[in-house]
């Protein structure tokens, strides 16, 4: 069987999703070279980092961090684009595991009670096939063993793509777009919101506001990447 697998991989090698080079034995989806080159922020080990400061004066976040810096055309954009638009949920699970591995040291997760992914509207979820933040959270939960509530926060309005909108426009779109389902599951708990990329923070601000106001939660945030340095 091993010889047959070696023969198959000789002619049909598995390729790295970030650089398209052939994967070596033991590598999963992304080669070790590409993973090593992902620009880690180390924000989880540094309180009052740039992501935390993004929310100052807007919503009382307990902790906030992104794992990697997001640059257009870079490896992390390629991986996240495949997760969102090429039906590569397997990459989302892997990235969720990497998120955990980057923050497991230190106190960032010390008093977190549960994980809640930032939701997308049901229409968008039907088209995409899944919520990418929920896929990331599944990978994170698999290693962390922190309870995951995928459907506790709902997106009520379909605001469409916000990629080209200004910060103010994103904030206006996000307000009153979210609601809580199954309040009893998270009431009074410390929730870690999971998302893919932080840009203006408007969506996370709106989600946190609902959780704090309606469920008396403490809220922290963790994303794969942040689109500013």
For the cut 90, the answer to whether the pLDDT of residue 193 exceeds it is: yes
Alpha-carbon gap, residue 96 to 139, rounded angstroms: 4
Query: Are 33 and 53 members of one domain?
Result: no
Domain that holds residue 33: 1-37
Q: Considering its fold, how many domains does the chain have in total?
A: 2
Residue 98 burial (10 A CB sphere; 0-12, 13-18, 19+)? buried
Q: In terms of domains, do 91 and 14 share one? A: no
Please state the rounded mean pLDDT for residues 172-192: 86
Q: pLDDT averaged over the chain? A: 90
Give the pLDDT score at 33: 97
Say whether both 6 and 87 belong to one domain: no
Query: To the nearest whole percent, how much of the chain has pLDDT over 70?
Result: 86
Report whether 205 contacts 118 (CB < 8 A).
no
104 shares its domain with 198: yes
CATH number at residue 67: 3.40.50.2020
Question: What span, in angstroms and rounded, lies between the C-alpha atoms of 210 and 216?
Answer: 9
CA–CA separation, 110 and 191 (whole Å): 12
pTM of this structure: 0.88
Residues 195 and 222 in one domain: yes
Residues 100 and 200 in one domain: yes
**130: phi > 0 → left, psi -120 to 50 → alpha, else beta; which?**
beta
* 214 band by pLDDT with thresholds 50, 70 and 90: very high
Contact 95, 143 (CB under 8 A): no
**Same-domain check for residues 212 and 110:** yes
47-102 pLDDT, tens digit per residue, is 999 999 999 999 999 999 999 999 888 999 999 999 999 999 999 999 999 999 99
More confident residue, 41 or 161: 41
Whether residue 62 sits in one domain with residue 27: no
105 and 77 in a common domain: yes
The reply to whether 126 and 88 lie within a common domain is yes
Nearest to 136 by CA among 88, 190, 71, 205: 88
Provide mean pLDDT across the span 32-56. 96
Burial (0-12, 13-18, 19+ Cβ within 10 Å), 83: buried
169, burial (CB in 10 Å: exposed 0-12, middle 13-18, buried 19+): middle
pLDDT of res. 7: 47
Please indicate, yes or no, whether residues 181 and 191 belong to a single structural domain of this protein. yes
- Taking alpha carbons only, the member of 103, 111, 66, 105 closest to residue 219 is 111
Indicate whether 116 and 206 sit together in one domain: yes
Would you say residue 166 has pLDDT above 90?
no
Contact (CB, 8 A) for 191 and 118: no
pLDDT digits (tens, 9 = 90+) for 117-157: 999 999 999 999 999 999 999 999 999 999 999 999 999 87
Task: Give the range among 150-154, 162-166, 188-192 with minimum mean pLDDT.
Answer: 162-166
pLDDT tens digits for 216-228? 999 999 999 999 8
Contacts of 220 (CB under 8 A, 6+ apart): 61, 62, 63, 64, 108, 112, 190, 191, 192, 193
CA-to-CA separations, 144 to 95, 107, 118, 139, in angstroms, rounded: 13, 14, 18, 9
């Amino acid at each position: 069987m091993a010889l047959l697998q070696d023969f198959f991989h000789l002619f049909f090698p598995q390729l790295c999703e970030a650089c398209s080079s052939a994967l070596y034995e033991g590598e999963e989806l992304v080669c070790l070279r590409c993973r090593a080159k992902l620009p880690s922020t180390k924000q989880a080990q540094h309180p009052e980092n740039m992501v935390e400061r993004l929310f100052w004066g807007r919503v009382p976040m307990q902790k906030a961090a992104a794992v990697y810096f997001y640059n257009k055309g870079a490896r992390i954009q390629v991986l996240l684009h495949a997760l969102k638009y090429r039906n590569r949920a397997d990459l989302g699970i892997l990235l969720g595991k990497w998120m955990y591995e980057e923050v497991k040291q230190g106190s960032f997760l010390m008093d977190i009670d549960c994980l809640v992914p930032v939701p997308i509207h049901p229409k968008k979820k039907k088209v995409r096939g899944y919520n990418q933040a929920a896929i990331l959270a599944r990978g994170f939960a698999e290693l962390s063993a922190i309870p995951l509530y995928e459907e506790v926060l709902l997106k009520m309005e379909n605001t469409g793509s916000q990629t080209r909108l200004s910060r103010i426009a994103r904030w206006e779109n996000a307000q009153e777009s979210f609601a809580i389902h199954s309040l009893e599951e998270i009431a009074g708990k410390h929730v870690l919101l999971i998302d893919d990329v932080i840009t203006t923070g408007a969506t996370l601000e709106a989600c946190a506001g609902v959780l704090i106001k309606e469920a008396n939660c403490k809220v922290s945030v963790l994303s794969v990447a942040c689109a500013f340095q």
